[in-house]
Amino acid sequence: ALSTTPPWTPPTRSTMSTQVSNAQIATRSSSVRRSHRRSRRAMVCVSAATPGSANRTSVAAEFIGAILKFPPLWEAASKGAKEKMVKRAGELGIEWEAEVNQLRSAADLEQALKDATDPAVVEKMPAYYKTSFHAYPEGNLGWDPALEVEVAAKAVHAPVFSEDGKTLEKNGDEKLRAGYHRAQAEAMDFIDPDMRKKAKKVVDVGCSSGLSTRALVGAFPDAEQFVGIDLSNYFIAVANHVLDARSGDPNGYDRNKVRFQHGAGENLPFESDSQDLVSSCLTFHELPASAAQDVIREAYRVLKPGGCMSMMDMDPTAPAFQRIANNVFAFTAFKSTEPYLEQYAALDVQEVMRRAGFETVETRSSSPRHRTIVARKPAAAK
């Protein structure tokens, strides 16, 4: 599960302790509800600021995609993105190496990886996942991305709520996650005032190292079971380690309610009509369009009648996103870390949900750059 702006968009960690400014969000909510009805254009620039700019963006995106297939150019772009992220962490007072090394030395990583790995999942690993993500040649299938997720999230999301995209907040990541669950609660309550109370079995698709799962535990204190699912066995290994370390911590996990499992969102290890809520946080932009549609259909399958799917990710209609799309240099940095960015921007997620059988699809703003989409499976399932 990753996130938002150049230079990198990793999975996030946050708590519910930080409240999102309703004033900041309100100005975006009504426009998001209007914009989600518009048909998507075929490229990142969903609406052109000036005539012809969509075509220019399309040509630029194709050109960038082509040159980034040349290894030396990709390595240069991704190296620059990673260096910028580490520099930003330092500006925030985050000791990147110290925090990562502390985590690296706190567990028997190889045994943790062995315990986390499902050989059947490895055997059927989809090709789209075996590519580079977030300035890592190994993508999400390695120790560096798994161990650096938390510090990277703090760095990447520091400017999310700034108007100029440059002012940094050390708690930006916490505010982003709080914004998701505020918007999620608002949409769920609109659909059914009792929906959140009914959410006893919760699934976190694309849980990364457990960062999004931890926030779900805080958002649904009455839930009885949380299962985090991720295709990366490295992320699951770190998630299990952190779960053991924080179990019993008032601000952490309850080992009796939370577990992590190696698996794919397209093939969830649950019976049909068995779960109350399927959540996916900052994951959809990492999926090609075909995989995103499969994840939505699979969520529909496992949800109980009346159950809910919820996702949060970048909003392609947001002005902040469009500024990146229309800036060839910013887009090059972004594209070097997000191989499926155009496909995500072009996908009409709400319409895919409706075609899968969901009803009452609601969209809310969760930050100036992100949206939350909530949909209910009919009580009398189709």
Say whether pLDDT at 340 is over 70.
Answer: yes
Say whether pLDDT at 14 is over 70.
Answer: no
Unique residue bearing structure tokens 């669950």:
181
Crossing angle of the two packed helices 71-91 and 328-335, in degrees rounded to 10 = 100
Question: Is residue 373 very low, low, confident or very high in pLDDT (cuts 50, 70, 90)?
Answer: very high
Unique residue bearing structure tokens 């909510």:
29
State the average pLDDT over residues 273-296. 97
State the average pLDDT over residues 169-194. 95
Please tell me which residue, 60 or 5, carries the higher pLDDT value.
60
E strands, 140-254, where? 201-205, 225-230
State the average pLDDT over residues 271-283. 98
Instruction: Print the SS3 string covering the chain.
Output: CCCCCCCCCCCCCCCCCCCCCHHHHHHHHHHHHHHCCCCCCCCCCCCCCCCCHHHHHHHHHHHHHHHCCCHHHHHHHHHHHHHHHHHHHHHCCCCHHHHHHHHHHCCCHHHHHHHHCCHHHHHCCCHHHCCCECCECCCCCCHHHHHHHHHHHHHHCCCCCCCCCCCCCCCHHHHHHHHHHHHHHHHHHHHCCCHHHHCCEEEEECCCCCHHHHHHHHHCCCCCEEEEEECCHHHHHHHHHHHHHHECCCCCECCCCEEEEECECCECCCCCCCEEEEEEECCHHHCCHHHHHHHHHHHHHHEEEEEEEEEEEECCCCHHHHHHHCCHHHHHHHHCCCCCHHHHHHCCHHHHHHHHCCEEEEEEEEECCEEEEEEECCCCCC
CA 275 – CA 216 distance, rounded (Å):
15
Tens digit of each residue's pLDDT (9 = 90 or more) over 135-172: 788 889 999 999 998 888 888 888 888 877 778 888 88
Tens digit of each residue's pLDDT (9 = 90 or more) over 49-78: 333 334 444 555 565 555 555 556 556 556
Please tell me which residue, 189 or 10, carries the higher pLDDT value.
189
Which pLDDT score is estimated for 18?
A: 39
Percent of the residues in the chain that have a pLDDT greater than 70, as a whole number: 75
Tens digit of each residue's pLDDT (9 = 90 or more) over 34-47: 444 443 333 333 33
Which pLDDT score is estimated for 205?
A: 98
Question: Is residue 132 very low, low, confident or very high in pLDDT (cuts 50, 70, 90)?
Answer: confident
